[in-house]
Amino acid sequence: MREWKKFLYIVAAFLACFYLPVENLRFTNAIFEALVLVKWYAREHVLLCLIPAFFIAGAISVFVSQASVMKYFGVKANKLLSYSVASVSGTILAVCSCTVLPLFSGIYKRGAGLGPAIAFLYSGPAINVLAIILTARILGWQLGLARAIGAVVFSVVIGLLMHLIFLKEERARHANGDFNVGEVKEPHPLGKTVLYFASMVIFLVFANWGKPLEGDHGVWAVIYQYKWGIAGFSLVGLALMLLNWFKKDELKEWTSATWGFALQILPLLLGGVLISGFLLGRVGHEGVIPSRFVEALVGGNSLRANFFSSIVAAFMYFATLTEVPILQGLIGSGMGKGPALALLLAGPALSLPSMLVLRSIMGTKKTVVYVSLVVAMATISGIIFGFIVK
């Protein structure tokens, strides 16, 4: 059987090479666009965006104890605190819709309330510091701000709706159990941990502070003028903290975890950029898919365009941050601003693989309701945003 599979793979590869349409101008131009886009992405966004994000993600996995995170989602925890923490958790978690699933499964099966757990599930992949910066820098500050606000609001509203819809089942689930996080043992005092993470986030934010518009002399322009000083100061502070507060074994574990995130995310991200460039090209340049096709499906701000964008995004798999270059190509091909926001709010939080896993964790009914809420709210938000930002 294996030999037959190998034979079929060889035949398929041969036929692909045999019929490769290298004479077709659109095909060769699409390859060029893919290479140009990935070159631009590597130069502009890997060193200052991705690498700091990998270090932050590695630090979270090493220096933030699971118990200290899980205690905020317990049944007896303050609801305002639970939803607040869950809704902003994604701002520092560089995870995709599939990577967040083990974290969600852990807190849900150990007794976390459905509402806060769902808020965490949505927020984790939907929003993080790097995603906000990339979205605002590449797609415009309006989409970046709308994504940040929308993701936080979505996580709370969807969490509360799931809690209310399944209130009876949740009460039955917790009738004979409780959420016990056990003793919390942190490797470092809370103050030191906060300063450590703050220094990395500050560097990430200010190192990527975008150039202001011509003629702008406001706060944004002032910060841009001194951004390297601020970023450098935070980097020096981080170096001093590492030298004085952390042991050699801890730093080794941190770098190892960071390397793991890089191996997991970077190949997918660059692959996504290549695919995006090949299919859709850059802004003002077409890939293999004519822009008129995209404009016909997701152009404008109709209910159909927003719903189509939401439902397709919900089933597609977006590795962390790949939605930004893909969306850049779509907007350049005629996608409306409303459907663009709908994709940003539905795509990163959902995927077909994540739906299948969620079904095994919380059942078919809860999964269908969760997916439906995300798609419906993304569609409505896209329509509203499209009317506000022309």
Distance, CA of 255 to CA of 246 (rounded, Å): 13
pLDDT band at 181 (very low <50, low <70, confident <90, very high): very low
Of 244 and 80, more confident = 244
pLDDT band at 179 (very low <50, low <70, confident <90, very high): very low
Q: Which of 357, 358, 325 is nearest to 343 (CA)?
A: 325
Phi-psi region of 286 (alpha: psi -120 to 50; beta: other; left: phi over 0): beta
Q: Which of 147, 151, 165 is nearest to 120 (CA)?
A: 151
Q: How many CB atoms lie within 10 A of CB 254?
A: 18
**Token digits for 317?**
């798999």
Q: What's the confidence (pLDDT) of residue 110?
A: 63
Mean pLDDT of all residues in the chain?
A: 78
Of 306 and 63, more confident = 306
Cβ–Cβ < 8 Å for 350, 313: yes
- List pLDDT tens digits, range 131-176: 777 788 778 888 888 888 888 888 889 988 998 898 888 777 666 5
Distance, CA of 353 to CA of 366 (rounded, Å): 16
The fraction of the chain above a pLDDT of 70, given in percent, is 79
* Mean pLDDT across 264-284: 73
* Mean pLDDT across 305-329: 78
* Mean pLDDT across 232-253: 89
Least confident residue range of 42-46, 178-182, 222-226, 336-340: 178-182
Q: What's the confidence (pLDDT) of residue 373?
A: 94
Whole-structure pTM value: 0.62
- List pLDDT tens digits, range 284-298: 677 787 767 766 777
Please, which residues have CB within 8 angstroms of residue 34's CB and are 6 or more apart in sequence?
Answer: 273, 274, 275, 276, 277, 278, 287
Cβ–Cβ < 8 Å for 152, 87: yes
- For helices 364-388 and 337-346, give the axis angle rounded to 10 degrees: 150
3-class secondary structure per residue, 52-83: HHHHHHHHHHHHCCHHHHHHHHCCCCCHHHHH
Distance, CA of 204 to CA of 194 (rounded, Å): 15
Distance, CA of 89 to CA of 156 (rounded, Å): 12
Least confident residue range of 198-202, 262-266, 299-303: 262-266
Please, which residues have CB within 8 angstroms of residue 227's CB and are 6 or more apart in sequence?
Answer: 206, 207, 209
Domain boundaries, the chain: 24-188+246-388
* Mean pLDDT across 14-41: 83
Q: Which of 197, 239, 235 is nearest to 62 (CA)?
A: 197
